[in-house]
Amino acid sequence: MSMTISEKLLALAAGKQEVHAGEIIQARVDKAMMDDILGPRIQIAEQLEKLGCRIWDPERVTVISDHYTPPANATQAEIVKFTREWSASNGVEHYYEFAGPCHQVMVEKGRVLPGELVVGTDSHTCTYGALGAFSTGIGSTEMLGVLATGEIWLKVPQSIRVRFEGELPRGVMAKDMALCSIGRIGHNGATYRALEYCGGTVERLPMDERLCIANMAVEAGAKNGVIACDEVTSAYLREKGIPQGERFQSDPDAEYYADYCFSAGELKPLAACPHEVDNVRPLEELPVTPIHQAYIGSCTGGRFHDLQAAAELLKGKKVAKGVRLLVSPASREVWLACDRAGILSALVEAGAVILGSSCGACLGVHSGAIGAGEVCVSSTNRNFIGRMGSKRGQVYLASPLSVAASAVTGRLTDPREFL
């Protein structure tokens, strides 16, 4: 039987020779991840104790406090404190705090390997598919079962192939590729399906850009996103000192629910307009829209490649008066790498404010929330009503290059104006 990458990954997790779309399987979980906002404090700690259960394998569990770090108030501080203490008392040695958004930290610390099944209490757990893993977000109740048994039942998703061919024009980044595909597929067009990204354009992307695309898969409703392992994957793993894992490729005659093909050369810098991620339009076609805040960061758009591109565009320029440009590197490791490369100082010289590595501004809980009537252009992954602060604010999603260009002009701007 021919299978897609996602089907092969789930067959391995289920201990079966083959699986087919729609089949319900009982799968062995390789790694489980919890964060502070939807981690042990949400039923999990209490119910494990009631059940008299211990974590099936603490070595396979990672807990990361990232949404509420640094805490902005006493409530957030108590949540982080509880998460820290629970992890220690339950033998979870892979606990990270102030290290950055969970998905970047999981990848950097080698907590995800190609070929693995990884689940996490955050919808953007699908990020790890960039490494050839089957990774998906689950709820706290499901995580309780995983922690107790090390297993989970899943329905094998149908796969949608998303192919990009050709060279990306200047000014276009992986975020534009992701928005382009979501705009075509729709915010629920891939619900409980696997998005498999492929084609020559994807193959030439560095890992930072691949992680961005996989991260956004859930914004089309996907169960997971995945990119086949290749030499780019291997080189990244070697650089980080991470084992190579097990590689999978889709069979040539594998069946797909749908097939999308995009010409990379025709792509333009895009923006997802309020208040839906699939409300996508070319920046050059939008009316003049003044902004108050520009944000570059998060597990979607704050990696080294992102900050480097923004710094290069901002070189010799200044952030417009009345605009605040906030930059949050995707992890402490990214922060240090950018500092060593002079990227942070270049951003600061242009007028940016460098924040700690955190999820705070992305979901409007600290470090950059917007007020009523304010407009923010952001390299993050969601622009729902109230996502980054006031329900009367507006959030546009765009690439780090587009965010940087907009910070200079004080309005939504196509970065090609500066390139």
* Residues 211 and 225 sit within 8 Å (Cβ to Cβ): no
Q: In what order do the strands lie in the sheet with 193-198?
A: 224-227, 193-198, 158-165, 258-263
Model confidence, pTM: 0.95
Q: How far apart are CA 218 and CA 216, in angstroms?
A: 6
Q: How far apart are CA 168 and CA 266, in angstroms?
A: 8
Q: Which domains does the chain have, with CATH numbers?
A: 5-262 (3.30.499.10), 270-418 (3.30.499.10)
Q: How many CB atoms lie within 10 A of CB 311?
A: 25
DSSP per-residue string spanning 273-325: PTT-TT-EEEGGGSPP-B-SEEEEEHHHH-SHHHHHHHHHHHTT--PPTT-EE
Q: How many CB atoms lie within 10 A of CB 313?
A: 23
pLDDT digits (tens, 9 = 90+) for 262-286: 999 999 999 999 999 999 999 999 9
pLDDT digits (tens, 9 = 90+) for 117-173: 999 999 999 999 999 999 999 999 999 999 999 999 999 999 999 999 999 999 999
- Which tokens is 104 given? 């970047």
The predicted model gives 187-192 an average pLDDT of: 96
pLDDT digits (tens, 9 = 90+) for 190-224: 999 999 999 999 999 999 999 999 999 999 999 99
Between strands 293-297 and 352-354, the pairing is unpaired
Say if residue 366 is preceded by a cis peptide, omega within 30 of 0.
no
Rg (CA), the chain: 20
Q: What is the pLDDT of residue 419?
A: 85
* Residues 80 and 63 sit within 8 Å (Cβ to Cβ): no
